[in-house]
Amino acid sequence: MVRISRYLAIVMLLLGVVSLALGILFIAQGVDKDNLLREAMWEEQVTYLLPEEEVAKGNVIDTAEEAQRVADTIREHRRAIAPTYEDLLAGGRFDPTNPTHLSYAQALNMENYLYLAVLGFGVTDVVIASGVFMIIMGIALGGTGVVLFGLVRRTA
């Protein structure tokens, strides 16, 4: 029984270390991808719907909340052109020389870009939260392994 308990303590310690390492990796990846998204949005310099004071300071749309607000507004404007893509084409084909078709396509592209940013920020938040949970579990597993190892030594 002592041998099994000792092996169990070692397994708990190893699981704790692995969980800690994975948690750190998840957090690092989440932060890295969050920064990547913000840098990409900074390069695009989208300032639509920002107050003039913010634009004058050099601020751009670079958060999930701002991107969601702008994407929703662009969607409303795009649907004023045509409620759906099928309605826009009216049974025909897309014509890149038609200003209405072109405006609709540009609005759709911008809307998708912003909604993907919202999705990306959400995923990075989930990855970071998962990393924090893994670290907490790693500490709990490692601590349990240490306590179990101590109990095994006392009984041996």
Indicate the pTM of the whole model: 0.86
- Cα R_g (the chain), whole angstroms: 26
- Residue span of the structural domain in which 135 resides: 2-155
Is residue 23 within 8 A of residue 134, CB to CB? The reply is: yes
Per-residue pLDDT of the chain (156 residues; tens, 9 = 90+): 889 999 999 999 999 999 999 999 999 999 999 999 999 999 999 999 999 999 999 999 999 999 999 999 999 999 999 999 999 999 999 999 999 999 999 999 999 999 999 999 999 999 999 999 999 999 999 999 999 999 998 987
Distance in angstroms (rounded) separating the CA atoms of residues 91 and 81: 16
CA 131/CA 109 separation, integer angstroms: 33
Residue with tokens 């390492």: 21
Listed in sequence order, the DSSP H helices in the chain are 2-44, 52-56, 64-81, 85-89, 99-155
Report the number of distinct structural domains present in the chain. 1
